[in-house]
Amino acid sequence: MRQYMLAVHSAEGQTEPTEEEAQTMFRETDRINDELRAAGAWVFAGGLLAPESATVVRVDSRGTTMTDGPFAETREHLGGFWIIRCEDLDQALAWAEKCAAACGPVEVRPFDELSQD
């Protein structure tokens, strides 16, 4: 089986969900996580703190530098992710549809086959 990353994106400037909307998103995400586990597709998942919490580490011939903030200057950021195990891309996309309905846009990317078990 192949592994896929389902990446949840958040856009700078989008309105924050109300407390009620956030609780609904959390419940739906928990439900999908339970469904992934029951189907044997679950590998790992996690939410991320805001991009401002990031530290970027760079190493070059002059040494190591560490800077605050996200790596990319962009309006969209990774907000969380799932790592799932699926037979094929179609199956991964079906899971992504459920995830996107729960918490917003989801990007689907397969792992490099060289990194598969």
**pLDDT tens readout for residues 2-11:** 999 998 877 7
pLDDT band, residue 107 (cuts 50/70/90) = very high
The total of structural domains in the chain comes to 1
Which helix (H) or strand (E) is 68 found in, with range?
A: strand 63-68
| Containing structural domain, residue 42 | 2-115
**3-state per-residue secondary structure call for 86-114:** ECCHHHHHHHHHHHHHHHCCEEEEECCHH
CATH number of the domain that residue 72 is part of: 3.30.70.1060
Q: What is the pTM of this model?
A: 0.81
Q: What is the pLDDT of residues 51-61, one digit of tens each?
A: 888 898 999 99
Which helix (H) or strand (E) is 63 found in, with range?
A: strand 63-68
- Percentage of the chain exceeding pLDDT 70: 97
Average pLDDT for 94-116? 88
- Specify the amino acid at residue 81: F
